[in-house]
Amino acid sequence: MIRARSTLSPSAFAQRLARKAARLAEARAGASLLARREDPRRWRMARLLWPLFTSKD
């Protein structure tokens, strides 16, 4: 059996998860908007390609 322990409280974990979900949703919306416009910049914007890796959280 695998055991995992976290130093985060359940509420802190939920807040972090919510921030990541919001970041993913913003990136998806931005990419969708640029895709509708057929804008090739959507493939060059790191914040749209890797939204969870381009921030400090």
User: For the whole prediction, is pTM greater than 0.85?
Assistant: no
pLDDT digits (tens, 9 = 90+) for 11-34: 999 999 999 999 999 999 999 999
**Above pLDDT 70, what percent of the chain?**
93
Torsion over CA: 19, 20, 25, 31 (sign)? positive
- Predicted confidence at residue 43, as pLDDT, reads 87
Cα separation, 23 vs 21, in Å, equals 5
Domain residue extents for the chain: 15-49
Cα separation, 55 vs 24, in Å, equals 12
